[in-house]
Chain A
Amino acid sequence: MINLNAEEAIASAPLPTKATLRRRQNLLFQAWRFVSLNLRMYLMVLKGNH
């Protein structure tokens, strides 16, 4: 049974902590994530039909 009450689902979803929010905008950490995400996407392209 689906629950169309979005307000309820959103209200009970986990909120990111202050540390998580800081990490999401931290230039050094994000530079590392940039490299890592690009590599992950590139590997995915290789794994597909190319």
Chain B
Amino acid sequence: MARIVILGAGISGHTAALHLRRKLSKHHDVVVVSPNSKWNWIPSNIWVGVGKMSKEQVTFPLAPIYRRRHIEFHQALATEIHPEGTTENPRAFVSVRYTDPTRAGEDATLEYDYLINATGPKLNFQATPGLGPDGGHTVSVCSAEHAVDARARLHESIEAMRQGRRQTLVIGMGHGTCTCEGAAFEYAFNVEHELRQAGVRELADVVYFTNEAELGDFGVGGMTFGQQGFETTSKLWTESIFRERGVRAVLGAHAERIEEGVIHYEQLDGTHHELAFDFAMLLPPFRGAGLSVFDRDGVDVSDKVFLPSDFMRVDGSYDAKPFEEWRASDWPETYESPAYPNVFAVGIAFAPPHQISRPRTSPAGTVITPAPPRTGMPSGVMGKTVALTIIDRIKMGETASAHHASMASMGAACVASAGTGLRKGSAAAMTMYPVVPDYQTYPQSGRSLKDTTGEIGLAGHWIKFMLHVMFIYKAKARPLWFLIPE
């Protein structure tokens, strides 16, 4: 009998748990630990943030699903990993503290044979003074609760415009090292769409505030598309959308601090500026969850397992090297910890070997470069891949080969909403292959021109909505859920 503990119930952790449970007999335990009681389809939070969906439409309680699927669920926050056990008991375990209201604050230990770290990001609002909804001056759409707050603040701004007051709405990144530029792009254009629907667009100045050096970078170094016999870039394509919709942009920006109604920022050229706002949705940078690791003697060995950013080292190449020497092969394939082969990290929890976008710093040395995105489709694929590796090792023995899923050989579909409505909606539907450019295989642009595409239109909105329905169906483990690909 094997016991698999999964820390986190986001896209990657939940996917891993469902696949493990489906493929393993009931003699084996699948255990999920998550501080949250609900699953959240995060890509739809932007629609909650403009009032087009309710919080209930993008979340559902995890406990009934896990009860039905015979998955043990602990609503708790993992705090420590003890991969060697203790001197008295060599069995590996994790320490958790319950957030479940019926056991709040209670500590416990959970033993494991295999551990999947799928803890996702710690939203590091503290990195920029004044950032965030809790004690700061900006809103966020990172969680459904944050998005509900963003909607209320947006509607206050719309109300002010209805009374004839001009408003500046700033949407983007709250730090020079943020990721998820795609989500900020989506929210900016959904807000712009909402303002037009409300009839107040002419009184609004919509500004996209980003750490990208060019529009269309999206944290993946931009894309080159083959389109109607020509090569075009995501830069040109994105700039065209900004022109068409009248959205301004501030590029290569690092928010240094935020005061009531003002963002103080530094740009890549070393200049410092202020940007006044009435409404600001700025995403935070991410850190790892901050787990500590102890050996059998109780010595803290966290730095052996985690990078200083608290993301977990896996089988990637973490040697520092210049951008020109980055290789697709630097990226992890199996997501196994080199220190403890029965421990894996997937989704945002694994440490990427480096950025995907070209790294840039200001003359003062401030890093202003998007961090690599590893959410959504790649997260789900990693979760499934690690689940398959563990299943093989349980069934065939420890020597069974690991399954592979490098982001340098994985494609991704990204549908960036630009407004809702079954007849009036719009979205930019992009595909890229691979996610991490591979200049050895595709010398021209690092990606397959045939498989890297972009298209704007109503169909993209239908797909985004279809994905919302399909992935919630899948996450609820409804009949034949496993036929829906990650």
> CB within 8 Å of B: which residues of A?
2, 4, 6-7, 9-16, 23-27, 30-31, 33-34, 37-38, 40-42, 44-45, 47-50
Contacts and interface: CB of A to CB of B under 8 A. Distances in A.
Main secondary structure of the interface of A (DSSP, over half): helix
Given A2-B214, A14-B236, 19 more contacts: A2-B213, A2-B360, A6-B242, A6-B250, A9-B239, A11-B243, A13-B239, A24-B457, A25-B424, A27-B458, A30-B459, A33-B455, A37-B460, A37-B463, A40-B431, A41-B463, A47-B433, A49-B381, A49-B406
Interface of B: 213-215, 235-236, 239-240, 242-244, 248-252, 267-269, 360, 377, 381, 384-385, 403-406, 409-413, 423-424, 426, 429, 431, 433, 451, 453, 455-460, 462-463, 466, 485-486
B462 A30 contact: yes
Given A7-B248, A14-B240, A2 B385 contact: no
Contact of B249 (A10, A25, A27, A42): A10
Contacts, number: 112
Nearest to A45: B485
A45 B381 CA distance: 10
Nearest to B240: A13
Main secondary structure of the interface of B (DSSP, over half): mixed
Contact of A49 (B248, B250, B404): B404
Given A16-B240, A16-B244, A45 B215 contact: no
Contacts of A31: 459
A9 B215 contact: yes
B243 A13 contact: yes
A50 B426 contact: no
Contact of B426 (A24, A33, A42): A24
Contacts of A16: 240, 244
Contact of B457 (A2, A4, A33, A48): A33
B239 A10 contact: yes
A4 B251 CA distance: 6
Nearest to B463: A37
Contact of B405 (A14, A47, A49): A49
- The 9 A-B pairs with the shortest beta carbon distances in the complex, nearest first, are A13-B239, A6-B249, A49-B405, A33-B459, A24-B457, A44-B411, A34-B459, A41-B413, A30-B458
A49 B451 CA distance: 15
A24 B236 contact: no
Given A6-B251, A14-B236, A47-B451, A37 B459 contact: yes
A14 B462 CA distance: 26
B251 A41 contact: no
A32 B381 CA distance: 28
A44 to B, nearest CB: 4
Contacts of B411: 44-45, 47-48
Contacts of A48: 381, 405, 409-411, 433
A1 B459 CA distance: 37
A21 to B, nearest CB: 8
Contact of A4 (B267, B412, B424, B458): B267
A25 B399 CA distance: 55
A50 B486 contact: yes
A33 B454 CA distance: 12
Given A4-B269, A42-B485, A50-B486, A10 B406 contact: no
A50 B381 contact: yes
Contact of B458 (A15, A24, A44, A49): A24
A44 B463 contact: no
Contacts of B214: 2, 9
A9 B240 CA distance: 9
Nearest to B241: A13
Contacts of A45: 377, 411, 413, 485-486
Given A4-B251, A13-B236, A16-B240, A34 B463 contact: yes
B252 A2 contact: yes
Contacts of A13: 236, 239-240, 242-243
Nearest to A31: B459
